[in-house]
Chain A
Amino acid sequence: GQNIDQPTEMTATEGAIVQINCTYQTSGFNGLFWYQQHAGEAPTFLSYNVLDGLEEKGRFSSFLSRSKGYSYLLLKELQMKDSASYLCAAVGGMNRDDKIIFGKGTRLHILP
């Protein structure tokens, strides 16, 4: 079957570093997305990994290990505005009908 797991909630302190993990099982794999979603708003794109390794983009980095079915999102120098849900999503499928499968999201609370 197809499944995505990520922690339900995490708490971190302003200025610190936090790592949000995601494991996935899909029939076929064509990449992994991370989205940020503030309460009451739409998800917005953060990163996309297709190959193994770390992709860095400012304060946010995303890592992928295809052999382990594992990804993480690393947030550095946390700010209060980073309080949001973070959605892990894998592109599965074997043909043109590839679909994106979303995890349930990790709600991140930032404490001052």
Chain B
Amino acid sequence: NAGVTQTPKFRVLKTGQSMTLLCAQDMNHEYMYWYRQDPGMGLRLIHYSVGEGTTAKGEVPDGYNVSRLKKQNFLLGLESAAPSQTSVYFCASSYEVAGVVDTQYFGPGTRLTVL
């Protein structure tokens, strides 16, 4: 039982390049999330999904796209990376209980630098 895994762990991009971050969970969770964490800003929600085939925007969705084609995977895409997207990205997943979000389990994070 690996929990939540993220690939890659580190990445350096040049401005304008694209990349996809992969999140996988083996806990059969319905909900999955992508956050970014910057110094002094806390965790900010980028996009989330309440089930396979569904996605929704969070607090800071601009410049990112997501897909949830399989229940266990949640992909975060950067189409044209910008230096402002330099951050640590965390994926998380959770159950829902009676329609309410339950405890979130976080992946180890991806440290992305955009030059």
Using a CB–CB cutoff of 8 Å, the interface residues on chain A facing chain B are 30-31, 33, 35, 41-45, 48, 87, 89, 91, 95-105
A96 touches B43 (CB 8 A): no
Specify the chain B residue showing the minimal Cβ separation from A88.
B42
CA distance A35 to B106 in the complex (A): 11
Docked complex: B87-114 residues within 8 A CB-CB of A: 90, 96, 99-101, 103-109
A33 touches which of B35, B42, B45, B103 (Cβ 8 Å): B103
Main secondary structure of the interface of A (DSSP, over half): loop
The answer on a CB contact under 8 Å between A104 and B41 is: yes
CB-contacts of B25-48 with A (<8 A): 33, 35, 40-45, 48
CB distance from A62 to the nearest CB of B (A): 13
List A contacts of B108 (CB < 8 A): 41-42
Seen from chain B, the residues whose Cβ lies within 8 Å of a Cβ on chain A are: 33, 35, 40-45, 48, 50, 56, 58, 90, 96, 99-101, 103-109
- The reply to whether B107 and A96 form a contact with Cβ atoms under 8 Å apart is no
- Report the bound CA distance from A68 to B41 in whole Å: 25
B101 touches A30 (CB 8 A): yes
CA distance A20 to B106 in the complex (A): 22
Beta-carbon contact of A87 and B90 below 8 Å? no
CA of A33 to CA of B103 in the docked complex: distance in angstroms? 8
Contact at B90–A42, with CB atoms within 8 Å?
A: yes
Q: Which residues in A have their C-beta under 8 angstroms from that of B90?
A: 42-43
In the assembled complex, the Cα of A95 lies from the Cα of B43 at a distance in Å of: 22
| Shortest distance between the CB of A21 and any CB in chain B (Å) | 16
